[in-house]
Amino acid sequence: MLSFVWAEDNKHQIGYKGHLPWHLPADLAHFKEKTMGKTMVMGKKTFLSLPFVLPKRKHLVLTHDEALIQKYKTNNQVNFVTSMEQLRKYLLSHKEDEVAVIGGVSVFEGVKDIVDCLEKTEIDGEFKADTIMPKIDYSAFKLIKKESFTADKKNPYDYSFLTYLRK
């Protein structure tokens, strides 16, 4: 099953200067839960924004950066594809596997027609951002779960976790 896993604010913004525009520990825990044990698909900028290669997850990175590919060639947690066509072919041939697309915009945009599940965190706020989530046709999906939470000492914003499955 191919899932998108992301967080966005009230204006569908998802990033600022290569990082999340907010700090929300509950969302980081949710992200970990939704990606643990799966292959995570991402572009180069998203990969480089990670603090390190995340444990117990495979990282499939879309890039042409030969130096980056060489740097991780001995790391069995990190693999690369060099074109959207190659990525789509991989995803279509691994439909039975648990795969989570985590960004960036071009990767979301390039495979949104074949995604099966949307795992979205909605953060109640507007942040300084330079990256917006591509439009998704929600009429093709059914909302199957929504959990809403209010801000607390650890999480300074109201937020909701939503799960959609393709109809």
- DSSP character at residue 43: E
Report the candidate in 87, 86, 161 with the shortest Cα–Cα distance to residue 123: 161
| DSSP per-residue codes, 98-160 | -EEEEE-HHHHHHHTTT--EEEEEEESS----SEEPPP--GGGEEEEEEEEE---SS--S-EE
- How do residues 16-69 score in pLDDT, each as one tens digit? 999 999 999 999 999 999 999 999 999 999 999 999 999 999 999 999 999 999
pTM: 0.96
Question: What is the SS3 assignment for 95?
Answer: coil
- How do residues 127-162 score in pLDDT, each as one tens digit? 999 999 999 999 999 999 999 999 999 999 999 999
CA atoms within 13 A on the CB side of 97: 17
Report the candidate in 3, 2, 4, 14 with the shortest Cα–Cα distance to residue 127: 14
CA Rg, the chain, in Å?
16
| Domains parsed from the chain with CATH numbers | 2-166 (3.40.430.10)
Whether residue 69 contacts residue 88, with contact meaning beta carbons closer than 8 Å, is answered with: no
